[in-house]
Amino acid sequence: MIKHLRIDNRLIHGQVAVGWQKYINAKAIIICNDKVAADPIQKMALPLAARGSKVLVFTLAETLKYEKENPDESIFVIAKFPQDALDILKSGVKVETLNVGNAAPIAGTKYVMVTKSIAATKEDAVIYRQLAELNKGKLTSQIMTSMETIDFLSALRKAGL
């Protein structure tokens, strides 16, 4: 089962490598994004950013296969984009916690800053609402384990999305 599914387009950084992995008590971090998994430089560099933690850089299909083959393992998955997380949930895989982490603005998009560290477009907002529907109507955001959890759907509404 996926114990924690985090949406974070920065992928692995200090908050994830130090804080979240220990908090989740996962044996490995899985980066789930087809383009990242096809990039040999990212596949080499991302494990280096995790400070000795096991990092698997997988496509969606590889992530789902790993989860199926390791049902008793507490799995921590980082989805680069909301669509990656939606594809995971649509597959029927059980996810204990779904968290919107960081979403840096993407140049050339019409984004709105939903929080200080999360940018979203109207298209992203549609996907976030679909994620909430598949997650019992709930979608939260928590940047670091020591920070307060916020209702991300409320944050989207406040931002005009």
- Options 3, 10, 13, 129, the catalytic residue: 13
Whether 4 is catalytic is no
Chain centroid offset of residue 5 CA? 5
Of 79, 70, 97, 66, the closest CA to residue 32 belongs to 79
Distance from C-alpha of 117 to C-alpha of 139, rounded to nearest angstrom: 16
Task: Please give the positions annotated as active site.
Answer: 13
